[in-house]
Structure 1
Amino acid sequence: MKTLIWFRQDLRLADNLALCEAFAYAKSALSSPIKANNEQVEALYVVSTEQWRRHDVAPIQIDFIERHVNILAKGLATLGVKLHVVHLPLFDDVVEWMPSFLAQHQIEKVFATQEPEINERQRDEKLLKLRLPIDFVAQDCIVNAGCVNNLSGQMYKVFTPFSKKWREITASMAIAPLAVPKPIAAALPEPSAIVFDAEKKSSHLWRAGEGEAKRILEQFCSQSIQDYQLERDFPALDSTSKLSPYLAIGVISAKQCLASALNRFPEALVDDTSPAKTWINELAWREFYRHLLVAFPRLSKEKSFNEKGDSVQWRNNIEEFSAWCEGRTGYPIVDAAMRQLNQTGWMHNRLRMVVASFLTKHLLVDWRWGERYFRQHLIDGDLAANNGGWQWSAGTGCDAQPYFRVFNPMNQSSKFDPDASFIKHYVPELKDALLKTIHQPTFTKDTQMFDDLFSDKQAKSVNYPSPIVEHSFARKRAIEVLSSLKR
C-alpha cells in the first residue's frame, strides 16, 4: 500500500506540512514487517483547466504554475517520489475520479493542504463524504483560520483588532519552518517535461523555483525590509519584496517569510518601532483576507461584505471600463499602472489601490468588473487578497466608513512618482511632457491632447487623451451614489 501527497497551492518541498506528514506516515508503515517491502510515497497534481477558466485564472499564472510543477516533479524525483499530473476539467470530475485512482494505485492514505476558497472546500467536503482516506492539513496561513477571534469567539470584521490579536498569537508561536524531508526511497530518473493543456502566457519575466523564491526573500529581508515603510509606496523604486507570485501558488510559505524577517528583527511582532513591522503587517493583511473567506463564504460568490453594496447603482459604462483596462483614461498614473499590469502581469500595491479607487469611485464601475480583470491578468492572482483589496477600495468591504474615501489620482501621482519616471516608462508618449501637466492633467470635453502638455509645440502630435472625467465632479458623484453604503 502507498501514501499519496496531493499538491495544490503548495508547490514546494520545504515547510510543507502535508508532505512531511505523508513521509512520516509512510515511514511508520515501513517499520512494519508486513509492509516493509511495498510501502512508498507518490504525489499528485491535478490540472483543472475548465475550473481555472471559470475562476478567471490568468494565463500568465497558469504558465508560472506549469513551470513550478515541472520543478516540483524534479525535486520529488530526488526524494524517490513520482509525481502524477492528471488533467480533469472540473473539481466535480476530481471527485468522481479520485476513488478509482486510489484503488488503482493502492493508496492507503492521502495528505493535502486545506484551501480557503468555497469551491475548493466544497470539493474536499464531497471527497470526505465518500469516506476516502484523506487528511486535509491546515497550513495555508501562519495562524489557522478560525483561531483569531474576538471576545465573543467571532471572526474580527475590522483589520486593526485582528492584526493586534494575530500578532499576539504569532508572538507566542515557534515560527520554525519545516525542512525538506529526507528521501523516502532511491532517486528516480529525471521526469519528462510536463505540459498543461491550457491557455498560457509567458511568465519569463519572473524566475521560477523554490530556491529563487528563497533567494528573493533573503535578499529582501537583509537589504530592503528596513526601508520598506519609507519606500514601499513609490512604484519607480524596487522596494517591495516581489514575493506575491510565489506566495499565491505556494512556492514559498507565509511562515517562511515571517521566519526570515524575525531572524533579523526578532522583536518585530511586539515592538511597534521595529523596521520590519510594516512588512509583517502585510503578512497579517494576507491572513485577514484568507480568514474572512472561511468565515464568510459569500465572499467567494462575488457578494459584497457590506450587504448594502449589492444594491449600489453602478454606472458600468462599457467604453469607460475599456479605457481603464487599456490604460487610456487620461490620468497618467492610472494609465501607467494598467499598462504595467497588461505588460508584466503584476502591479505595484499602491497603484492597485489607485486604479481600483479610480474605477469604482471616479467611473462608478462595479468592483467585480475590476476584480475579474485583475484575476484574468495577475501572475499573483489570489482570490482572498484580490477580493479583499477591491472591496476595500470600493467601500463595500471591511472598513468603518470607507465609501467617502476617494483617491485623488493627481495627488497620488505627484506624491509617489514625483519625477514621473514610472509614468514615462509605461506611458512613453509622455516622455517629453512637462511634469506639471503629467501630475495635473487638464480636463476638457475634447478627447484630444490638452494644449499645454508639451513645451515643444511640435510634440502635440502625440496621441494622449484628455482625462476621461473631472476629479472634483467624480468625487462628489461617487460620495452621493455610494452614501447608501453608510452603516
Structure 2
Amino acid sequence: MTRLMWFRTDLRVLDNPALMHSRRDDEEATLAIYFVTEAQWQQHDLGERRINLMKQAACNLQQSLDELGIPLLILKKDTFTEAKEALQHLIETYDISELNYNLEYEVNERHRDIELCQWSKDNAIQINKFHDQCIVPPGDLKTQNGDPYRVYSPFRKAWLRLQKDYINAPSSAPGQQDMHTISHDIRDHWADNSWSPEFTEDALWDPSEDTAHEQLKEFLDKDGLQYHEQRDLPELDATSRLSFYLALGVLSPRQCIYTAWQRNGCLLSGGENGLDSWINELVWREFYRHLIVAYPELCKHRAFRSDYENVPWRDSASDFERWCKGETGYPIVDAAMKQLVDQGWMHNRLRMVTAMFLTKHLLIDWHKGEKFFSQHLVDADLASNNGGWQWSASTGADGAPYFRIFNPVTQSERFDEQGHFIARYLPELNGLSPKARHFPDDKARKACGYPEAIVDHKAARQRALDTFKSMEN
C-alpha cells in the first residue's frame, strides 16, 4: 500500500501539513507527484519567468525529497483536467491507499478538487485535505451577521482574536523512508512519462527552501525592526521580498508569522512597530485569500463592487503601451515599470502608484494592468494581485475611495526624496538635480531624451473624478 502526496503551490519539505500526514508513520510508503501544467498556467496569465522558476523549484524539491527517500514524479500535462485524469489513472492502476494535498483557493483549482473528491467517493478512495496558505482557514471568520468580512480592519481584529487557536510552531521535515518500499512498477512506468527538466537558472531569484529561510532570517535581523519606517522607500530595498517564496509555496505563511511572532515577544500586535507592521502585511495577504473563497467571482476578474462593474474606461492602446514600457513622462511611474520588467518584481508602494496612475490618470481598465503585472511578476498571485489592483481602481473590497488619487510627483518627492531610485532605472536623468528628477521641465526633457508627460495631473485627476462620480447617478 502506498500513500500519494500531491504537490501543488507548496513546493517545500518543511512545514508541509499534507506531506507530514503522508509520512505520519512507516506503515505505508509515500510517493509524491507534481504536474507541470504550462498551458493552464499561461491561461492564468503567469509569465515565462514565473513558470521557469516554478519548474526550478519543483526540481529543487525533487532533490530534497530524494534525500528523504521519497520519489517525486514530475509529469507534464497541458491542463488541470489532464493532470486530474492522470492522477486518477495512477490511483486506479497501482495500490494507492490515500491521496493527500494542500488546498488551493482559486476557482478553477477548487472545481478540479470538487470533481476529484466526487470521483474518490465513487471509488472509495481516501482524500485528506489541508490548509497551508492561511493561518485561519477561509470561512472560519464571520461577522456577527454570519457574513464574510468585506473590510480589512474588522477582519484583522477578528483574525487576531481567532489566530490564537491556530498559531503553532511550523513542522519540521518528515522522517526518511526506504526508497525501495516504492513499487518498481510505479517508478519505472512513470519515469518514462515524466517531464524532463527544462529551465534556466535565474540570476536574480533562487527558488530554494534554504535561500528562503536565509532571506527570512536576514530580513528580520536587518530590516524588520525598521520596517514601518522604511517599507515605503524604494531606494532602500528594505522590504522582505519574501512574497516570491510565498507565491511558489517554497515558504509558508506560518513560517513567516511564527518567526516574526517569536521575534516580537510572542506578540502579533502591540510589540515592535516594525514587526507589527510586517505581520499586518501578512494578514492583508490572508484577507485577500479569504475574499476569493467567499466571492469566487473575483477569480473571474469581476469587480468586487458591482456598481463599478461598468466604468467607462478609456480604450487607448498607445497610452497603455507607454505605461507598460515606462514611457509616461512621470519618472517614478516609469522607473517602477522598468523595475518590473527588469527584475520581475516591484516595490509595494510603487505597485500602488503605478496601478492608480493607470486607472485614474489614464482611466484605463484595471484588468489590463492586473494581467500585465501577473505576466511579469515572479510573485504573481491571483488573490493579492487582484486585491491590490481593485484597491487602486476603487472597485474592490475596502478599496481606496475613488476621489483618492495619488499625485505621482508628490509620491516621488515623499518616498524617493533624492531621486536615487529614479536614477537607478532612468539613468538619462542622472545629470539632473534630485529635485528636478521628480518631474523635469521641458528643456531638461529634451536634453535628456526623456518623453513628455502623457497627461496633465490636474486635468487627468478631474477626468477621473467626473467619470467615477457619474457612476453614482
- The TM-score with structure 1 as length reference comes to 0.90
Paired residues, number = 460
Provide the residue aligned with 1:446 in structure 2.
none
Give 1:259-298 correspondences, 5 Å limit: 259-271=258-270, 274-298=273-297
Q: Which has the higher helix share?
A: 2
Tell me which residue corresponds to 2:320: 321
1:5 correspondence with 2:19: no
| Cα distance in 2 between the residues matched to 1:283 and 1:152 | 26
How far does residue 317 in structure 1 lie from its aligned partner after superposition? 0.6
Q: Give the distance between the partners of 1:356 and 1:312, measured in 2 at CA.
A: 16
Q: Find the counterpart in structure 2 of residue 141 from structure 1.
A: 134
- 1:13 counterpart SS class: coil
- Alpha-carbon distance between aligned partners in 2 of 1:331 and 1:426, rounded to the nearest angstrom: 13
Distance, in Å, in 2 between the alignment partners of 1:435 and 1:470 is: 21
Partner of 2:227 in structure 1? Answer: 228
1:113: which partner in 2?
Answer: 102
State the 1:274 CA deviation.
4.0
Match of 2:52 among 63, 79, 83: 63
Structure 2 unaligned spans of 5+: 182-190
Q: Take 2:146 and 2:238, find their aligned partners in 1: how far apart are those partners?
A: 38
Instruction: Tell me the equivalent position of 1:467.
Output: 453
Mapped to 2, the partners of 1:87 and 1:219 lie a distance apart of: 36
In structure 1, C-alpha distance between the alignment counterparts of 2:149 and 2:367, rounded to whole Å: 23
CA distance in 1, matches of 2:301, 2:230: 33
Q: Which amino acid aligns with 1:185?
A: D
Give the secondary-structure state (helix, strand or coil) at the position aligned to 2:309.
helix
Maintained 8 Å contact 1:66/1:194: no
Give the alignment's Cα RMSD to 1 decimal.
2.1
- The Cα of 1:172 is off from its aligned counterpart by 4.5
Distance 1:343 1:428 in 2: 14
The whole-number CA distance in structure 2 between the counterparts of 1:201 and 1:382 is: 22
Matched residues in 2 for 1:205 and 1:194: separation? 25
Which letter does structure 2 place at the counterpart of 1:170? Q
Q: Which runs of 4+ in 1 moved over 6 A?
A: 191-194
Change (3 A) 1:401 1:426: closer
Name the structure 2 match of 1:243.
Answer: 242
Name 2:188's counterpart in structure 1: none
Q: Residue type matched to 2:20 in 1? A: C
Query: Is the Cα contact below 8 Å between 2:336 and 2:350 reproduced in 1?
Result: yes
Q: Distance in 2 between matches of 1:385 and 1:474?
A: 27
Q: Which residue of 2 aligns with 1:397?
A: 396
TM-score, length-scaled by structure 2: 0.93
What is the alpha-carbon distance in structure 1 between the residues aligned to residue 280 and residue 472 of structure 2? Answer: 27
Equivalent-residue separation in structure 2 for 1:289 and 1:201 (angstroms): 32
CA distance in 1, matches of 2:200, 2:63: 23
Q: Name the structure 1 match of 2:443.
A: 451
Percent of residue pairs bearing the same amino acid type: 41
* C-alpha deviation, 1:486, in angstroms: 5.1
Residue pair 1:11, 1:249 contacting (<8 A) in 2 also: yes
Cα offset for 1:400? 6.5
Distance 1:371 1:140, change over 3 A: same
**Is residue 393–residue 400 contact of structure 2 (8 Å, CA) maintained in 1?**
no
In 1, the alpha carbon distance for the partners of 2:410 and 2:197 equals 44
Say which SS state the counterpart of residue 84 (structure 1) adopts. Answer: strand
Q: Which amino acid aligns with 1:463?
A: G
Question: 1:218 Cα deviation (Å)?
Answer: 1.0
2:165, 2:471 → 1: CA distance?
Answer: 38
